[in-house]
């Protein structure tokens, strides 16, 4: 009799067949023994990447629908409504990645997977870059990606913006979905690169005018350069459309595009790890609802020396668990102004930026009345007294998009130049 096969386990996961293998990793099918949920278990051999014989196990979602590439190969071009749905999901995903400082740099149908319900999933972030990799000129400089999908500015070796380069790749993908073939293709790489650099492509006649117009705005070879020229009879459609374009379209502009907006459903993001709003909300809850009478504070909460020292980057253990270094969700500055003056100045600066302001006991809640990419941005501020004539102001994102919080704080700090004595960065440099 044959012996029963022994199931290998990694933690609570039962490991099964190999479903993928690369240079540094192997992916196996696995199942959560507690819930029965199927997952993909990525196993990295640290001996190959870090000089150690131990392994790293990464549990990932098991996506069963295959690659979007296979769907195109097997069925050809898509109807516009189907292509639009995938493109909308792609833009939502790329927008989310960019808001967290992640640039994929290898977007193509082979890296777009489909789940059981036909929802699109972006995979293979092996060539992705983080915001910390941007050089002093504000650009990335590593040439990478798949030739047919790579943006022209990536090829010229003078630096490029990760967000606009990703968007070019999205434009190529949209063309492929609608046309069934690549806009730029040649067996000779030099000829291919010339076509990409000049954005030489022609849309097939079955693509609608609105879709052509959007593709032409994405596949602009000059992402940040003013276009010029005059229209001449017989000029290809993509070229004539580009004459009126100032620069490559941005994601916020795509979200307002006529073709894109049809049947569009704004994504709902579940924020994990953001600041708990309970302490902020409690300050502003109606006292009658909670049957309490709140005492009005005459001065800000005092901060002792130990609390102040703990905010140092070297001693603050919170920095060990901050997943968004470089995209922080809170910042601080000190001021020699009286606390009430600081409150009034923040209110005066926030309201013109479109924020509703609520304040109580030297705490403020600022809410952007206009929804951003992940709902309304909420910012909580609190003033602490460090010394009789010195206050520290903490400004933190309570809800919404981290990138939008950074833009808000930059605008806010500009309006508070006469209030701010030292920023958090100044304080760290003086340690």
- Closest C-alpha to 360, from 293, 287, 283: 283
- Closest C-alpha to 209, from 255, 258, 249: 258
SS (H, E, C) the chain: CCCCCCCEEECCEEEEEEEEECCCEEEEEEEECCCCCEEEEEEEEHHHHCCCCCEEEEEEECCCCCEHHHHHHHHCCCCHHHHHHHHHHHHHHHHHHHHCCEECCCCCHHHEEECCCCCEEECCCCCCEEHHHCCCCCCECCCCCCHHHCCHHHHCCCCECHHHHHHHHHHHHHHHHHHCCCCCCCCCHHHHHHHHHHCCCCCCCCCCHHHHHHHHHHCCCCCCCCCCCCCCCCCCHHHHHHCCCCCCCCHHHHCCCHHHHCCCCCCCCCCCCCCCCHHHHHHHCCCCCCCCCCCCCCCCEECCHHHHHHCCCCCCHHHHHCCCCCCCCEEEEEECCCHHHHHHHHHHHHHHHCEEEEEECCEEEEEECCCEECECCEEEEEEEEEECCEEEEEEEEEECCHHHHHHHHHHHHHHCCCCCCEEHHHHHHCC
426 tagged catalytic: no
Query: CA 367 → CA 4, 340, 356, 381, distances in Å?
Result: 61, 20, 5, 11
| Alpha carbons 312 and 314: distance in angstroms, whole number | 5
- Closest C-alpha to 31, from 9, 56, 64: 9
What is the phi/psi pair of residue 429, to 5°? -65, -25
- What are the structure tokens assigned to 17, written together? 């067949």
Binding site annotation covers 363? no
Out of 70, 81, 106, 286, the active site residue is: 106
CB atoms within 10 A of CB 144: 14
Please give the positions annotated as active site. 106
**Residues that constitute the known binding site:** 42
Residue positions in the annotated binding site for ATP? 42
């Amino acid at each position: 009799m044959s012996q029963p096969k022994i199931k290998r386990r990694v933690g609570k996961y039962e490991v099964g067949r190999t479903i993928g293998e690369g240079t540094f990793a192997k992916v196996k099918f696995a199942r959560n023994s507690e819930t029965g949920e199927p997952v993909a278990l990525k196993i990295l051999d640290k001996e190959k990447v870090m000089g150690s014989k131990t392994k790293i196990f990464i549990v990932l979602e098991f996506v069963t629908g295959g690659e979007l590439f296979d769907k195109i190969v097997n069925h050809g071009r898509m109807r516009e409504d189907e292509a639009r749905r995938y493109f909308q999901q792609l833009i939502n995903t790329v927008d989310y990645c960019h808001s967290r400082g992640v640039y994929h740099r290898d977007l193509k149908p082979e890296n777009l997977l489909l789940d059981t319900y036909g929802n699109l999933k972006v995979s293979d972030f092996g060539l992705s870059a983080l915001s910390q990799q941007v050089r002093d000129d504000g650009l990335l400089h590593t040439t990478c990606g798949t030739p047919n999908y790579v943006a022209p500015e990536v090829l010229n070796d003078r630096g490029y913006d990760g967000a606009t380069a990703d968007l070019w790749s999205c434009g190529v993908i949209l063309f492929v979905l609608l046309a069934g073939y690549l806009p730029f293709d040649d067996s000779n790489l030099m000829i291919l690169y010339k076509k990409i650099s000049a954005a030489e492509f022609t849309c097939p006649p079955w693509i609608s005018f609105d879709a052509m117009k959007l593709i032409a705005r994405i596949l602009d070879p000059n992402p940040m350069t003013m276009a010029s020229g005059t229209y001449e009879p017989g000029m290809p459609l993509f070229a004539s459309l580009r004459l009126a374009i100032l620069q490559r379209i941005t994601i916020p502009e795509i979200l307002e595009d006529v073709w894109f907006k049809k049947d569009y459903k704004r994504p709902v993001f579940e924020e994990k790890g953001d600041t708990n709003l309970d302490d902020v909300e409690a300050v502003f809850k109606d006292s009658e609802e909670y049957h309490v009478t709140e005492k009005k504070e005459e001065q800000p909460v005092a901060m002792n020396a130990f609390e102040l020292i703990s905010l140092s980057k070297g001693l603050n253990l919170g920095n060990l668990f901050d997943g968004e270094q470089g995209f922080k969700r809170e910042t601080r500055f000190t001021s020699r102004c009286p606390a009430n003056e600081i409150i009034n100045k923040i209110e005066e600066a926030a309201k013109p930026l479109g924020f509703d302001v609520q304040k109580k006991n030297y705490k403020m809640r600022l809410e952007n009345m206009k929804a951003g990419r992940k709902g309304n941005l909420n910012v909580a501020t609190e003033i602490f007294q460090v010394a009789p004539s010195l206050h520290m102001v903490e400004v933190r994102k309570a809800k919404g998009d981290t990138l939008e919080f950074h833009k808000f704080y930059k605008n806010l700090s500009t309006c508070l130049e006469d209030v701010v004595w030292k920023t958090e960065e100044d304080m760290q440099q003086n340690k």
